[in-house]
Amino acid sequence: MPKRVINYRKPIIAAMTVLIIFSYSNAFAQYGGGGGGTSFTILGSSIQTLSGQNPEALISGICAIEKIIIKLDRDGGTFVLSALEITKPSGIPAAPGENICYYRITIPEHIKAIMREAEIHLKVPKSSLGAIDVDSLKLYRLNEVSNTWEALSIEKIREDGSFVYYVARTSGFSFFALSGEKMVAPPEEIFEETFTVEGFDVSVTLTSGKVENVDLNIDEKSLNLMLANVEDDATLTIEIPRGLLDAKNPDDTDTEFSIIIDGELFEYEETSDANKRVLTIEIPAFSEEVSIFGTFVVPEFGTIAIIILAASIFSVLAVRRKLLNI
């Protein structure tokens, strides 16, 4: 009667897989590395049974990791790969940049000995990036000897409307951190100009768009600004000479201006001195006209007219004096 041959490999691998899953099924894990005890909370896990010389593990339930391809010098037989998404491990410094995810990836020691390289393919949801620049994304691996993070070689493959795809290469497995840098907003183009109104200099700055014109309505005692290209909420700062326009109580103390933007009343902030009042006004996007109403406005003739009138009077007096001396 022929002897029955029992293959123990499959039951052993299955038992190992169950043991690993059971050992990581708790919400908290301890790792004796990185120069001391390290703890972390497991957020997700993927345990894969692999075989062959270049096995490929399809990962699910782990932040951004899509698959891991391991390149071996030879066929290492059947083994288990464990990929965990974890919180930042205690006892380990935070990875550089804005951290998105931390991982712990392990393989057996005999597989480490024959591994040339591994590719970690990432499928990063754009929704998880927030303000992080997609071109700044890096995958760091912990050097467990120095307890420092080392940036891996990473390449952005492509992106679509929902995801950005990368591949990173590593010579070993350990703790990993996926992080990037926040996008730097382009500097604001601030409009700055000084307008001459009735002989007075009126300086204005606007953080979005431009001020096309500043004029004075003497009858309404108002200064009117025409705006253009205000595509975002903006801040308007205007320096108003007191001799041009002012707002006074009957006892000659300062009172508030009335600010009307496209027909609606707005508040403002102010600083002032003896010569001018500086108003800071928040302007809604797409505004077109700002009117500043006061209680006093430069006389209708204006400064130049007054100077001309004074010169004329002096001329008349001089001629009269000359005639009287004849």
Q: Are residues 114 and 208 in the same domain?
A: no
Tens digit of pLDDT for each residue in 40-68?
999 999 999 999 999 999 998 899 999 99
Q: How many domains does the chain have?
A: 2
Q: Do 226 and 280 fall into the same domain?
A: yes
Long-range contacts of 210-213 (CB under 8 A, 24+ apart): 211/236
Flag whether 319 is in a domain. no
60-96: per-residue pLDDT in tens? 889 999 999 999 999 999 999 999 999 999 989 999 9
Quote the distance between the C-alpha of residue 226 and its chain's center.
32
pLDDT at res. 183 = 83
How high does pLDDT run on average in the chain? 86
- Under the banding of pLDDT at 50, 70 and 90, the label for residue 123 is very high
Q: Is residue 309 part of a domain?
A: no
* Per-residue model confidence (pLDDT) at position 28: 46
Q: Assign 26 a pLDDT band (cuts: 50, 70, 90).
A: very low
Residue 303 CB-density burial (10 A; 0-12 exposed, 13-18 middle, 19+ buried): middle
Is the residue at 68 inside a domain? Answer: yes
* 208 shares its domain with 59: no
Q: pLDDT tens digits for 276-288?
A: 999 999 999 999 9
Last residue of one domain, picked from the residues 144, 159, 180 = 180
Closest by CA position to 178, among listed 157, 160, 164: 164
Instruction: Give the domain range for residue 272.
Output: 191-303
Examine the domain organization and report whether 92 and 130 are in the same domain.
yes
What is the enclosing helix (H) or strand (E) of 257? none
Is 186 contained in some domain?
no
- Percentage of the chain with pLDDT > 90? 74
Q: What is the pTM of this model?
A: 0.54
The answer to whether residue 16 is domain-embedded is yes
For residue 215, what is the domain's CATH number? 2.60.220
| Predicted confidence band of residue 121 (pLDDT cuts 50, 70, 90) | very high
Residue of 312 and 33 predicted with greater confidence = 312
One domain for residues 166 and 59: yes
